[in-house]
Structure 1
Amino acid sequence: MQERNKNFLVLGLILGVFLAFFLAGRFLVNVDELPRINKGTLIIPHVSIDSLALTSDEGTPYTGADMAGQWTMAYIAGDACDTACKNGLFYLMRQLRLSLDRDATRVRRLIIHTAEADTDLREFLNNNVAGMYEAHGQRDVIEAALVDAMAGASPLHHIFIISPDGMIFLWYPTHADRDSTLLEADNIRDDLKRTLKGSAIG
């Protein structure tokens, strides 16, 4: 076989293999059914915490600068706290953070109030999940900032992961059911461990 024909044959084989993989990927593989790396819902584009216009207990602005040095798990609360809320604050934030062992100090817990906490929520915060940072914001402003990320749903009673530069990039639902709560805890833990492992920050 002449050298030129041999080269054409090799090139044809290479192109044939490439075409076969392309067609298989295009028509035989459903991308939506492939496993995703993140267990939570990724927020694209990320949302800056500054857009939530939060304030501290003292009334000063609570901004991305307050996120520096640690990753943050944030819960957006209303005035009351039902079973899903308590499961989220206790199992998905307090207990989950403790389960990170030596990485626990790299993660802060933050509750964002959109209304004055009722007596039950305040007692739960003081007696069961003490040590959380607290910030305050207006519900309509927070919902407007996160409306696209939440596909039009309210961000209240969900958990968000915030990077040390103040960018909100993942969110997770809370659950009244204990088994669903524990499964969600695994999701958050997997994402947090992967994030912390790949970051030198915090």
Structure 2
Amino acid sequence: MMQQTATGRSYLPILALVLLFGLPPIAGWFYIMNPQWLPDKHKNRGTLILPPRPLQSLTLKDAAQQDFDWRALSGRWTLISYREGACDTGCMQQLLALGQVRRALGADRIRVGQLLIQTSPTARGSDDEPQQLVDASRTLYLPPQQVARFRQLFSLPGIEQRGATYLVDPNGMLMMGYPSGSPKKDILKDLETLLKASRSWTTGANNGYR
């Protein structure tokens, strides 16, 4: 009897380690997928997409007109903006605001990427000057034949796609949307909650972001 008791006690440290390191990622994933269980102060500000939508079926082009590989977003949360035609002054203000959100995350900013999706690069607005300031490495183009697919994937009640901001999870799944003009603090609060909950299962490789 004494030997069995000693053996049982020898497993207690192992069990404690499993609970210590295993429960946080499980709990984090549970709350991400079931935000209704979060306390009110932690509930999402954006419109949650349930179930999240995989984006791999959407074919976008990079600045060199090559097909974009969605695996490039693997391991990081990504803020996506959408504009029809060239990036005008309002578009630039939106990109700058999202850049400020990323910087406000401090060291966690390397776990968050930022992309702009535009319609065909041949479509130009009346003012092309702001377009010259857009980082080509963070810009993707939506071919005309993919517009219907984009509208289907990014359709959310109460959110006009033009000027909206979307959040993609580290697995390339579209999971949240924000209407044009959403307060920066709302996007920041959601990201802080998600980054904290997912800290153990995202690596946040640099990939050129600062």
What range is the shorter-chain TM-score in? 0.5 to 0.7
| Per-residue deviation, 1:63 | 3.6
**Mind listing any 5+ residue stretches in structure 1 that lack a counterpart?**
1-30, 176-180
Are the aligned partners of 1:49 and 1:63 in contact in 2 as well (CA < 8 Å)? no
**Contact 2:46 2:178 (8 Å CA) reproduced:** yes
| Structure 2: unaligned runs, 5 residues or longer | 1-35, 205-210
Deviations 1:57-76 (A, max 9, x none): 23332243121132111101
Local SS of the residue matching 2:56: helix
Name the counterpart of 1:68. 74
RMSD: 2.7
The aligned counterpart of 2:102 is 97
Is 2:197 the partner of 1:198? yes
Aligned-pair distance for 1:82?
5.1
Deviations 1:125-174 (A, max 9, x none): 543x6476111223322102223xx1386422110111121001011112
Q: What is the CA distance between 1:95 and its match in structure 2? A: 1.2
Q: 1:106 is matched with which residue?
A: 111
User: For the residues of structure 2 that align with 1:109 and 1:90, how far apart are their CA atoms?
Assistant: 11
How is 1:44-63 mapped onto 2 (pairs within 5 angstroms)?
A: 44-63=50-69
**What SS does structure 1 have at the residue aligned with 2:57?**
helix
Runs (4+) of structure 1 exceeding 6 A deviation are none
- Structure 1 residues 68 and 174 mapped into 2: Cα distance closer, same or farther (>3 Å)? same
CA distance 1:192–1:126, change in 2 (3 Å): farther
The answer for the alignment partner of 1:79 in structure 2 is 85
**In 1: Cα distance, 2:101 partner to 2:127 partner:** 20
Q: What letter corresponds to residue 184 of structure 2 in structure 1?
A: A
CA distance in 2, matches of 1:52, 1:152: 22
Change over 3 Å in CA distance of 1:152–1:95 after alignment to 2: closer
Output the CA distance in 2 between the equivalents of 1:144 and 1:119. 24
Over 3 Å counting, the alpha-carbon distance change for 1:100 and 1:156 in structure 2 is same
Q: How many residues align?
A: 159
Alpha-carbon distance in structure 2 between the residues aligned to 1:97 and 1:110:
12
Q: Tell me the residue number matched to 2:188.
A: 189
- Match of residue 170 from structure 2: 164
Whether 1:143 and 2:151 are equivalent positions in the alignment is yes
Task: Look up the match of 1:173.
Answer: 179
- Taking every aligned residue pair, what percent have the same amino acid on both sides? 28
| TM-superposed deviation, 1:119 | 6.5
Contact 1:73 1:109 in 2 (8 A): yes
**Quick check: which has more Rg, 1 or 2?**
1
- Structure 2 counterpart SS, 1:62: coil
Q: Which moved more, 1:98-107 or 1:118-127?
A: 118-127
8 Å Cα contact 2:116/2:139 also seen in 1 = yes
